[in-house]
Amino acid sequence: MTDYIIETENLTKTYPGNIQAVKGIHLQIKQGEIFGFLGPNGAGKTTTIKMLSTSITPTSGSASIMGYDIVKDSLRVRRNIGVVPQDLTADEDLKAVENLRMIARFYDLPKVPSNKKIAELLNLVDLGDVGGHYVRTFSGGMRKRLELIMGLVNEPKVLFLDEPTLGLDVQTRAKMWDYIKKVREDLGVTIILTTHYLEEADELSDRICIIDHGNIITIGTSAELKASLKGDSIIVETKDEESLKTVAEFSGSLEEPAINGKEIRLTVKDADSDLPLLMDFMIKKGITPMKMSVQKPSLDQVFLKLTGNEIREDSGESAFKQALTMRRMRR
Ligand SMILES: Nc1ncnc2c1ncn2[C@@H]1O[C@H](COP(=O)(O)OP(=O)(O)O)[C@@H](O)[C@H]1O
Ligand SMILES: [Mg+2]
């Protein structure tokens, strides 16, 4: 047996048409951790989750969960995992409790979960009072909470959450984070989550794996990833470009400053102590800034540095609405 609850070796998925969604990834996930897959849309996150949760088979490579091979031993894998897919799955025309009873059939559980078990799950996400209500009356946040516990009915050791807060507003998202943390604390499950929201990965994950174009870009704790950037940025805007050249002579810069139009970006060791020094320097040189701002290392900057792009967060909302519309159209 290995020390890791999930291990992958060269895990690869190529869809028909030679679409290389996941290009041979190596992963080792520890028991009890929240492991975050962060990457832009189309990076290969859902495909990875679908392979690990046995809903699609890898093109090549292998993976195991609790020592069980995801292909050869898929039944045992399925019994030990919970899956909360990216798209909403609860039936709107059923009550919350009915959805939870239904899910038992999906997992081929020996019997329908007890009322006590269902009540426990509903209480875990503060839906205890609305278990008897139709799902169609639920708000977006309530629906996502219901989806979360639908993944817990079979008492899994590993829970996969694919974009657990997709399309939720900022406050509802933050509440969802608390519930996800609670699930880990109360039930001790290992959680694998995917997200294209930087703050979400930052807030929830013990370790973050940044993925792009089917490749792992980097893996580490949020602090480790940020520490891989050299320092803080100070951005100064001046009236004219001549002044920028003078600002560029500031001795605290760790690397060559980047000038862009009327803006200069200085990389400094620690903005908190370097900013006053830069101000003194500018006053001495007779330069009045139009604007000044500080950027501390963020995951977005890590991604920017490693890929040359930003992780854009714009398409989540529309994908969520699209999923809802598609559901309505199907009925
Ligand atoms: N069933 C499929 N058939 C063909 N291509 C797919 C399929 N599912 C996903 N893809 C493609 O694979 C790539 C990765 O998609 P996906 O795993 O859904 O990414 P993410 O979840 O990170 O947004 C994308 O280019 C996507 O268009
Ligand atoms: Mg996805």
Atom of ligand 1 nearest to the CA of 43: 22
N- to C-terminal Cα separation, the chain: 47
**Alpha-carbon distance values, 31 to 35, 200, 291 (Å):** 10, 21, 47
Q: Which domains does the chain have, with CATH numbers?
A: 4-226 (3.40.50.300), 230-296 (3.30.70.980)
H-run or E-run covering 99: helix 96-106
Q: Which protein residue has the closest C-alpha to ligand 1 atom 25?
A: 42
Q: What's the whole-number average pLDDT of the chain? A: 90
Cα of 39 from ligand 1 centre, angstroms: 12
Cα of 316 from ligand 2 centre, angstroms: 10
For 13-68, the pLDDT digits (tens) are 999 999 999 999 999 999 999 999 999 999 999 999 999 999 999 999 999 999 99
Pocket of ligand 1 (CB under 6 A): 15, 19, 21, 39, 41-47
Helix (H, G, I), strand (E, B) or coil at 160: strand
For 250-294, the pLDDT digits (tens) are 998 888 898 888 899 999 999 999 999 999 999 999 999 999 999
